[in-house]
Amino acid sequence: MSKKDRRRVLAQIWGTPTSHDIDMVDEGDQIVVFSNYRGVVGWWMEIFKTYYPNIKCKEKGDTIKIKPTVGVTIKLNKTTRLMKVYGKDHWPWFVDTFEILLDIGNGDAVELPSEGGSISENSVTRYLQLNKDDEEVQDLLDRIPEGGGIMHHEFIMRLWKSLLDDWFGVGAAVYIVTPRIDSERLFQIMLLMIRNKGTGFKVTLMTPAKQIDGERFDKIMERTRRRIKEVQGQQGARLVSDVKLEWVMLSLNVQHSEFSTNFIAAHKDEEGEVLTTTAHFHKSHFHHQQKDNVSYCRLSPHDLRKNYLLPLNIGNNVF
Beta-bridged to residue 149, according to DSSP, are: 294
Domain assignment present for 318? no
Domain of 288, in residue numbers: 122-312
Q: Which residues of the chain, if any, have pLDDT below 70? A: 107-135, 234-236, 315-319
pLDDT for the residue numbered 315: 67
pLDDT for the residue numbered 131: 59
163 with 208, same domain: the answer is yes
139 with 75, same domain: the answer is no
pLDDT for the residue numbered 124: 63
pLDDT for the residue numbered 119: 35
Q: Supply φ then ψ for residue 117, to 5 degrees.
A: 80, -175
136 with 61, same domain: the answer is no
15 with 164, same domain: the answer is no
127 with 271, same domain: the answer is yes
pLDDT for the residue numbered 115: 41
**Cα torsion 191, 41, 100, 57: sign:** positive
Classify burial at 226, counting beta carbons within 10 Å of its beta carbon; exposed 0-12, middle 13-18, buried 19 or more.
exposed
pLDDT for the residue numbered 252: 97
> pTM here?
0.87
176 with 57, same domain: the answer is no
CB 143 within 8 A of CB 149: no
30 with 136, same domain: the answer is no
How many domains does the chain contain in total? 2
